[in-house]
Structure formats: structure tokens, C-alpha cells
Amino acid sequence: MDLLNTLVDKGLRRELPTREEALAVLATSDDDVLDVVAAAGKVRRHWFGRRVKLNYLVNLKSGLCPEDCSYCSQRLGSTAGILKYTWLKPDEASQAAAAGLAGGAKRVCLVASGRGPTDRDVDRVSETIRTIKEQNEQVEVCACLGLLSDGQAERLREAGADAYNHNLNTSEGTYADITTTHTYADRVETVQKAHAAGLSACSGLIAGMGESDEDLVDVVFSLRELDPDSVPVNFLIPFEGTPLAKEWNLTPQRCLRILAMVRFVCPDVEVRIAGGREVHLRTMQPLALHLANSIFLGDYLTSEGQAGKADLEMIADAGFEVEGAGEVTLPEHRVEAAAGCGSVCGSHQGCGSHEGTGACGHEGGDLGGTAAAPATQEPRTDLVAVRRRGAGTDLAPNA
């Protein structure tokens, strides 16, 4: 297929595809999905070999969020029966993180519900970061605390944070249809603040909310422009008790096409399969490893994931290997660009070597634009399990 050959060539050169090419990937048929996976897999292996990075979520504060994000089980007005608890103590968070690290994770993602942290919250998280780092020298720590105020990213970095996650989630044109309590521009500004503070920026999307192909391409091209080091791809988990509970728009094949499109647009960044892979990819999860080079191990924020042992077996059976603590995730040119850019750029744009030739995860209605793909599967509500173990409980975590 000429399209796929062109996209492979561009991916190996870090050259941005056209919007038409990205849309064409999403429009390919189910009969062609293995060809699409094989092509995007060449780009993935060129930049990341057969390594799979493991990340582990620790939900520091669950539920009772004042924001109204339609996809979120922790949102204002949610009646989902999730765990609700206030801030974990640093030792509790460190113990939770230890389970993921013992399972092979090299990055711990510290997440808290809410619009954004107060200065006192930043103090709490900073103490937690220091505690985790003291007990695990090589661990990477990513914070995900919502919208940041001036100076907060710098304080997190001083405490030892390596990265900050804040997802764009969907396209700018349709953002107001899923959230009204903050704006798309607010999210962009927080990613830029993380960049400016010298943190590795992590920003991604949620697919399956009723968006059109154009919306998906819009948000991924916006992410390419923001230039995060990692792009988590969430697939909506339709929790009962949330406005999007009836949105079952994804098939395993569509999920694979979305991941392939992200890989072609962002060839040399860490593409992470995040929330919802068990619900929507199901038995085709191993194929997704040919597209993404990173996954979350075990459970998510408010839902249960595949058993950690099963994750490790899946990686090995598919012919991949877990990335070691001493291995560098990103290609050399991105590492050098980050070191050279430092904390003065405000964004990696303009640093040069992040561009090609000439150029962590919250869990995941009609968003406008062109019509979304019709639902082609029966709702698999049996696969949506509320987390009842790990952080905030007396039960051992799944790692």
C-alpha cells in the first residue's frame, strides 16, 4: 500500500505526515489492519527496538473532583461507585509505588483528583516524591495534579519529579462539549509550564468519546506541536454514573488504527497504551505492543486492569522485553535536545533537534464535527471493574 510505505519513510525521518495521510490511516478497513500494524511497527522498532516501558499509577487522592469532565468517574456529579479518599501519606504512597516497582515498573505516576494543586498540596506531593526517591534511587516519578499555577512545576522539579502529565484529551474545537469548568487553553498552558520548568512533558488523548476522525487527527497534531516526550492513548472506560456511560464506539481494530496513527504522527516519542486497553483491545492487546512502546502495569486510577503477571507474560509471549531501570527510554536526539533546552525554552519548540526534517493518565456525547464511527460492538460492561484494592484500601495492589 503506497500510503503505508510513505508513512514508514516519513516516520523513519521524523517527518510530519499530512492530515490527509493521518485520516487515511483511520479510514483503512479491518481487512487491512495487520498491514497498518506492520507498517507502524517498523517505525516503533526503529526508534524503540522491542523494549516496553512499564509505568505504575498511584492514586494519591480519589474522587470528589469539582471539575465536570464527562468521561471521568471522579467528576462533579458522578454516581460511579468508585473509591473516595483524601491524600495518602508519603509512606503510604511509597508503599503503593513499591508494588509496581517490584513488578518491573520504572516510572511511578502520582495522580490526584481536583482542578489543580494548592501550594500545600505541592508540599505534600513533594514530600511523597522525596520519600519514593530515597527508597528507590533509579525510579522516574511523574506527577499528575491538574492545572498548575506559576512556580508549582519548578517546585515539583526541585523535589525530584522527572515528568508532569496533563492530557489534552480531545480536539480544541470540541473540548467545551466534554468539559465546561476549564478550557483547552488551560490544559495547553499547563503542559507548557511543565516544559518551561525542565520537566519531561507527558500529554495524550482519550479515544471513544463519540469524536470524529477529524477530531482525533486534530488532537494528535496539536500534541505533535506541543512536543511532549510521552503520549498516553486512553480508550474511554464508560463508567455507569457518568455522562458518557453509553458511549461504546470502539472495536479492537479501531483502537489499533488509532495507535498506528499516533505512532506515524509522533514517531520518536513514548506512545503509551493507557486506560481502557483491556476493555477495548481485549485479546488483541499483544498486537498493540507493535505500535506503542509503553503501558501501565496493573490497575488504573479507579478501575481494575489486567493482572500484572498477565501483563508481563503478554509482553514476553509477543516477543518484547521489559525496559530496564538503567535503559534510556527516548532516542538519543530527544535526550540531547531536552538537556540542551534546559528550563529556559518555555517549550521544546525552537530547540531544533526534537523536530524532524524541517520539523503518564487519567482514565478515560456527541462532540460535533463530522459523524463519529457507529458503534460496532455490544457494550462490554462486564469488563469495567471498579478498583477495590491497592491505594486507599487495605488490600494488596495489583502489580
The answer to the question of residue 394 being in a domain is no
Is 368 inside any structural domain? yes
**Residue showing cell 517490584:** 102
- Asked whether residue 17 is domain-assigned, the answer is yes
End-to-end CA distance of the chain: 40
- What is the pLDDT confidence band of residue 356, given thresholds at 50, 70 and 90? very low
**What pLDDT score was predicted for residue 74?**
79
Cell numbers for 70: 464527562
Catalytic residue set: 65, 69, 72, 109, 142, 202, 272
- Residue 341's pLDDT band (boundaries 50, 70, 90)? low
Band of pLDDT at residue 376, cut at 50, 70 and 90: low
Average pLDDT (253-282) is: 97
Q: Which of the two residues, 167 and 336, has the higher pLDDT score?
A: 167
| CA–CA distance, 13 with 249 (Å, rounded to integer) | 33
What is the spatial distance between Cα 133 and Cα 138, in angstroms, rounded to a whole number?
8
Q: For residues 53 and 66, which has the higher predicted lDDT (pLDDT)?
A: 53
CATH, residue 299: 3.20.20.70
Predicted local distance difference test score (pLDDT) of residue 39: 98
DSSP state of 303: B
- 3-class secondary structure, 169: strand
Asked if residue 135 is part of any domain, the answer here is: yes
In a domain, 396, yes or no: no
What is the residue range of 86's domain?
2-383
CA 249/CA 216 separation, integer angstroms: 13
Question: Comparing 318 with 336, which gets the higher pLDDT?
Answer: 318
CA distances, 65 to each of 242, 364, 387 (Å): 13, 15, 17
- Name the domain count of the chain: 1
| Predicted TM-score (pTM) of this structure | 0.90
Residue 52 in domain: yes
User: Does residue 392 lie within any of the structural domains?
Assistant: no
